[in-house]
Structure 1
Amino acid sequence: MIGVDPEKAFAVYLRIRDRLPRPVRQGAAQNGNFCDIVADYDLVLFDAYGVLNVGETAIPGAADTIAALRAMGKAVAVVSNSAAYPKMQMMERYARIGFDFVPDEVVTSREALLQSLTQKPPRRWGLMVDSSAGTDALGDLNTVILADDAAAYNAVDGFLLVGAGGWTDQRQDLLEATLLHNPRPVLVGNPDLVAPRESGLSLEPGWFAHKLADRAEILPMFLGKPFPEVFDLALARHPQSVPPARVLMVGDTLHTDILGGLQAGFATVLVTEHGSLAGLDIPDAIARSGIVPDFVVPCI
């Protein structure tokens, strides 16, 4: 689903603000040069869409910046809300578009979701995901991919929203109807409302999860930015203990990357040229959101 403009997406983020965490501090929104900013930090965490890539296309210069950070002795990692595809498929894509990340440097909300599920009783889960993504790397989970059969929605014990490719209004109606009739757990592996693609902003699982919260009065459990579990995974993955004040979170979205980084106690950089805020008045967006990054740059 493509075609949501940045202002509409931002307005929805503003409307669902009370469902998101509160930052423990605010930044100063200073403008600066990215490579100068990173000098004071040991670990640099990057969002992917809108910072490193747009859809399947690398943003010019992003791979060179990663190489420059490595040469400076900085640790780097990706912290992504991309939950639809297994890690190996993501690694293949990064390699194809010119990045040299290794698996331990890529932390996803899919991993945060799977970790959360280890603490829950076994269930048969209905899965929001494009059928082409399959259910690889979901371990021993008992899942059925949701499509257009209402009986499948009624037969499962809970729902996992991980990828919105192929999702339709009809399927959303089926999901809302079954939850109104029989409330069950809903876990969201990708809290993003939208993601930057080559042809525009795509609707992501968070968009549909908040529609559920509005219409079916069910508050889903979100695993991914801006919520803390995925950041905890990123810090745990680092071989040396890094204080939050020495971590820099770089992202294009105020309500996920920047809010999540501030909530974790990290320094934050908002990237504006290619992401979900592209074309908006950035100082105005920051003021309306009440989420203030430490730094603002056009690109990395």
Structure 2
Amino acid sequence: MACRKVDRTIARKIIDSIDNFLFDCDGVLWEASKEIPGSADTIAALRKLGKKIFYITNNSGKTRSQYVEKCKSLGFHAAEEDVICTGHAAAQYIKAQNLKGKVYCVGNTSMGVELDSFGIKHFGIGPDEVPGSIEQIGIQQHVNLDPEVSCVLVGFDPHINYMKMTKAASYIRKNGTLFVATNEDTHLPLAGDLVVPGTGAVVGAIKIPARKEPVVVGKPNSVMFDLLKKEHNLDPSRCMMVGDRSDTDIHMANLCGMDSLLVFSGDMSYDRLQDLQKSADTDDKKLNIPKYYCDKLGDLGSFIQQFI
């Protein structure tokens, strides 16, 4: 399965065939708190051509309103309805299940804000210290399970510990408990030698003892796009996902029937893409191959400017 580098002809084809552009953020539009040159101008050019822009992120550590503020601070126009992050999508998904009871949330304060916005009762966010006597008398003496819990939601949690893992897995083992995860990203997208475990590490620590797989809202799964498609009446064939990761952004695009554009300004490189193409001998790996690629989003933008 071959993919093609964006040139003027391909850029024209993209503009003619795509109405809705879905952008991953970190590594595509910005790095940390700095815009990747040309990205904001590209978004502005697409808007001038009447295209709809969405910002799609696996990050559960920010609310939609916080993402809007970050977008604006870096020169990207955005409204809350343009942003879909995993904390909001998870809350939206849980609300749609019409569950009674409470959510035990292994997560962060932003996830709590999103749950609150849907009127969902929850608890568990923040530190849950392991008592000093736990090694002497056992963990069972310290855990009291709430019988009203009907859902466990797991996202990025800097306070993850043995106590939280025990409670979450125990709730999940109850018959009928919904198990939802924001994403399973392996690490945070940070430069340098420091490796910071991502939400996938937190989810793994819970799903292994629970012996149950979660409904994963974030990329590469289809849940976030399914919610967005329903809310905005999107036609997948008129949508393009732009990302820097083949195993999340591009995989979701192909899974959902969208066009895809991979940029090399973040996680992926041209050499890695070439290796991926050579080894794409299974259906799952084929879903990781983009339709188009370019070095950075601004390369597409430079062609788009010619069409305005």
TM-score, normalised via structure 2 length: 0.75
**Pairing 1:58–2:35 present:** yes
Could you tell which deviates more after superposition, 176-185 or 211-220? 176-185
- Whether the 8 Å CA contact 1:153–1:174 is kept in 2: the answer is no
Q: Which amino acid aligns with 1:144?
A: G
**Displacement of 1:44:** 1.0
Please give the secondary structure, in 1, of the residue aligned with 2:189.
strand
After the TM superposition, list the runs of 4 or more consecutive aligned residues in structure 1 that deviate by more than 6 angstroms: none
Gapped regions of structure 2 (runs ≥ 5): 131-141, 298-308
Equivalent residue, structure 2, for 1:105: 82
**Displacement of 1:242:** 4.2
Equivalent residue, structure 2, for 1:128: 106
Q: Distance in 1 between matches of 2:210 and 2:167?
A: 9
Note the 1:130-279 alignment, pairs <5 A.
130=108, 133=110, 135-139=112-116, 140=119, 141-150=121-130, 151=142, 154-155=145-146, 157=149, 158-164=151-157, 166-167=158-159, 171=161, 173-178=162-167, 183-184=173-174, 185-199=178-192, 202-214=196-208, 216-238=210-232, 241-275=233-267, 277-278=268-269
Go from structure 1 to structure 2 and tell me whether the alpha carbon gap of 1:91 and 1:126 turns closer, same or farther (over 3 Å shift).
same
Q: Distance in 2 between matches of 1:142 and 1:121?
A: 12
Could you tell which deviates more after superposition, 206-215 or 69-78? 206-215
**Pairing 1:83–2:45 present:** no
**Displacement of 1:62:** 0.9
Equivalent residue, structure 2, for 1:4: none
Q: Distance in 2 between matches of 1:120 and 1:210?
A: 26
Q: Distance in 2 between matches of 1:212 and 1:189?
A: 13
More helix per residue: 2
Q: Of the candidates 35, 49, 53, which is equivalent to residue 26 of structure 2?
A: 49
Q: Which amino acid aligns with 1:91?
A: V
- Whether the 8 Å CA contact 1:55–1:198 is kept in 2: the answer is no
Aligned length in residues: 266
Equivalent residue, structure 2, for 1:7: none
The C-alpha deviation readout for 1:238-274, integer Å capped at 9, x for no partner, is 3xx5432111111112222111111111111112222
- Whether the 8 Å CA contact 1:107–1:233 is kept in 2: the answer is no
**Displacement of 1:95:** 1.0
Q: Distance in 2 between matches of 1:29 and 1:91?
A: 32
Q: Distance in 2 between matches of 1:63 and 1:160?
A: 34
Please give the secondary structure, in 1, of the residue aligned with 2:113.
coil
- Whether the 8 Å CA contact 2:169–2:206 is kept in 1: the answer is no
TM-score, normalised via structure 1 length: 0.76
**Pairing 1:296–2:288 present:** no
Please give the secondary structure, in 2, of the residue aligned with 1:145.
coil
Q: Which amino acid aligns with 1:123?
A: G
Could you tell which deviates more after superposition, 201-210 or 148-157? 148-157
Note the 1:3-14 alignment, pairs <5 A.
none
Q: Which amino acid aligns with 2:156?
A: G
Larger RCO (CA under 8 A, 6+ residues apart): 1
**Displacement of 1:152:** 6.7
Please give the secondary structure, in 2, of the residue aligned with 1:209.
helix
Aligned-residue CA RMSD (Å):
2.8
Q: Which amino acid aligns with 1:283?
A: Q
Q: Distance in 1 between matches of 2:195 and 2:18?
A: 31
Go from structure 1 to structure 2 and tell me whether the alpha carbon gap of 1:176 and 1:135 turns closer, same or farther (over 3 Å shift).
closer
Which structure has the larger Rg?
2
